[in-house]
Chain A
Amino acid sequence: MNTDPAHLSTNEFIKGLWRENPIFVQVLGMCPALAVTNSVINAIAMGLATTFVLIMSSMLVSSLRSFIPRQVRIASYILIIATFVTVAEYFIQAISIELHKNLGAFIALIVVNCLILGRAEAFASKNTIWPAFLDAAGMGLGFTFALICLGGVRELIGNGTLLGYMIFSENYQPWIVMILPGGGFFSLGAWLLLFNWMKSRKERLNLAAENSR
């Protein structure tokens, strides 16, 4: 175990990206992951909005952690998260009305994304601001990465495009089911299959390496 502080803080950041990825490993925040990933642009917008809320609320929770009594901590966290969600919603509207329409009610629903409350409760309330920031940024980017994976597959198969650009020929027959809610479940299932397969393969290889030693 490396206990060097620099290494530890990189670790806080990296773990959310891959080893503890919110979607593929922790399977948290399924509502936006299934609902708004029918195109890459929606996935990016939702991912970044969530990352923003996650970073801001984690930092605030961390800085107020000695000020908030245990009994009212959940109420306080929700209040803080809801505030940043509202702030994010205003910003998205100011950036693009169309985007705001596409994401619809799911921006407001970031409040109930258990990933954010989970990080506030499990990490930010027990750590100082810098690690809390790194943890939130890692988790948020990991979440965004996972949403892009889902959105990419769905947009590519369901519409034949990526970020709106035609990938296949003009005559490509889109699989409409992929941009419907059902496609969210199909692609999430496929990604989870891939992740678990890679994980079990790695474990098998590690075991084999140990045995041969």
Chain B
Amino acid sequence: MNHHHPTLNPPAAEPPSSWPMIRALAGIGILCSLLIVSTWQLTLPTITKKKNEYLEKAIYQVLPGATSKKTFKITPDGKIEQFEGEERGVQRVFAGYDDQGRLVGLAIEARGQGFQDVLKILYGFSPEKQAIIGMRVLESKETPGLGDKIEKDPDFLANFKELDVSLDENAQIRNPIVPVKHGTKANPWEIDSITGATISSKAVANILRENTLRLIPVVMKNLQAFEDGSLAGNGP
């Protein structure tokens, strides 16, 4: 720095060298933000529609007979509220209704540790039968050819046609779901495991047991709220 001879370094002759950099980065930043925002605007309706369709397909699959749905959430203090969208840590319950608007059952999201990573499943619960009437794996990273049999194996999926989760006189589940060795299922609350995918089938059973023990009593207590849901609003 030479303060005594300012004339040697006239400021006008040497423009601040950081200006082109700032200009370039800011310019590109603005251009890029515009691009991203406009793409987001453009694709958002389609993405929301696809996501909804994907979820709906799963719900109607685990609740045979349902033709419309309504989304609820269970608050931490055990209340049922109507809900739209998706939020971290929110326990969603989807009520499925038939053509006449009668409650067919409830599709409940459950998650837990699988063999490789978190398993996310959706199961259908019928209050009338007090049983699980369908199960679908939403997200899994189980080993291809082995653990992913929990999504495809017909014998395994047959477990969830009518899996008993009935309540006792204290409004708690009478027989928690248990996994048993392949071919030894004797009771309606047992899950027949897949040979060669023992760990993944046990994981599904454990997730369901934990989730049903916690939620089915709450859901049964608040059944009226779900039945009223069809009158208050409208599935798509």
Q: Touching in the complex, A and B, CB below 8 A?
A: yes
- Interface of A toward B, CB cutoff 8 Å: 38, 64, 67-69, 71-72, 75-76, 79-80, 82-84, 86-87, 90-91, 93-94, 96-98, 101, 158-159, 174, 176, 179-180
Our pick among B25, B46, B146 for the contact of A75 (Cβ within 8 Å) is: B25
Judge whether A71 and B21 touch: CB under 8 Å: yes
Judge whether A93 and B47 touch: CB under 8 Å: yes
17 other A-B residue contacts (CB within 8 Å) besides A72-B24, A91-B43, A174-B145: A67-B23, A67-B24, A67-B27, A69-B20, A72-B21, A76-B25, A76-B28, A80-B32, A82-B32, A83-B36, A84-B35, A90-B47, A93-B47, A94-B46, A98-B54, A176-B143, A176-B145
B155 close to A (CB within 8 Å):
no
Judge whether B43 and A90 touch: CB under 8 Å: yes
Pick 24 A–B contacts, CB within 8 A, sort by A.
Answer: A38-B144, A67-B23, A69-B20, A69-B21, A72-B25, A76-B24, A79-B25, A79-B29, A80-B28, A80-B32, A82-B32, A83-B36, A86-B36, A87-B36, A90-B39, A90-B42, A91-B43, A94-B43, A158-B144, A158-B145, A176-B143, A176-B146, A179-B144, A180-B143
- Interface of B toward A, CB cutoff 8 Å: 20-21, 23-25, 27-29, 32, 35-36, 39-40, 42-43, 46-47, 50-51, 54, 139, 143-146
Given contacts A69-B21, A87-B39, whether A97 and B32 have CB atoms under 8 Å apart is: no
Task: Return A55 CB to nearest CB of chain B, in Å.
Answer: 14
A91 to B27, CA, bound (A): 24
A133 to B28, CA, bound (A): 19
Task: Return A92 CB to nearest CB of chain B, in Å.
Answer: 10
A72 to B27, CA, bound (A): 12
Task: Return B206 CB to nearest CB of chain A, in Å.
Answer: 23
Residues of chain A contacted by B36 (CB below 8 angstroms): 83, 86-87
Residues of chain A contacted by B51 (CB below 8 angstroms): 97
A179 to B51, CA, bound (A): 27
Our pick among B24, B46, B50, B54 for the contact of A68 (Cβ within 8 Å) is: B24
Task: Return A180 CB to nearest CB of chain B, in Å.
Answer: 7
